[in-house]
Structure 1
Amino acid sequence: METTTATTTKACATCSHFKTTDATEGECRRRAPQTIAFNVDDDVKFESRFPTTKASDWCGEYEQA
């Protein structure tokens, strides 16, 4: 007897925490935005951003949209 198991990838594209920004990418909004520091001329600037992921990515914190 052969057993077949169907698996479905729980990808970012169908996660309730994912916000689409274009056809293949988006932002993961599961957690708060992360602060990024960078140099501009002689000043240090700070910006907060959500992590960018591909729609086909996945993680262990998926929640069905």
Structure 2
Amino acid sequence: MSTFRDKKYWILLVPFLTTAVLMALYLPPNEKPLTVLVILLFWATYYLWGYLEKRTGKRDSK
């Protein structure tokens, strides 16, 4: 599965990346490591979505 063809990846990337950048810009320096949590949540959401899709038998229409 090519990353550029995976719609789930791009759908999730935009809001999570925006959130991470905004957090990195506006959080105080001692709380900036929390932006790593956003990245981890992105990957957890991405793989959970794929797992649930396989479990229910749904596939992307390409």
TM more than 0.5: no
Answer with 1 or 2: which has the greater Rg: 1
- Bin the TM-score by the shorter chain: under 0.3
Which structure's relative contact order is higher, taking Cα pairs within 8 Å and 6+ residues apart?
A: 1
TM-score by length of 2: 0.27
Which protein has the bigger helix share? 2
TM-score by length of 1: 0.26
Which protein has the bigger strand share? 1
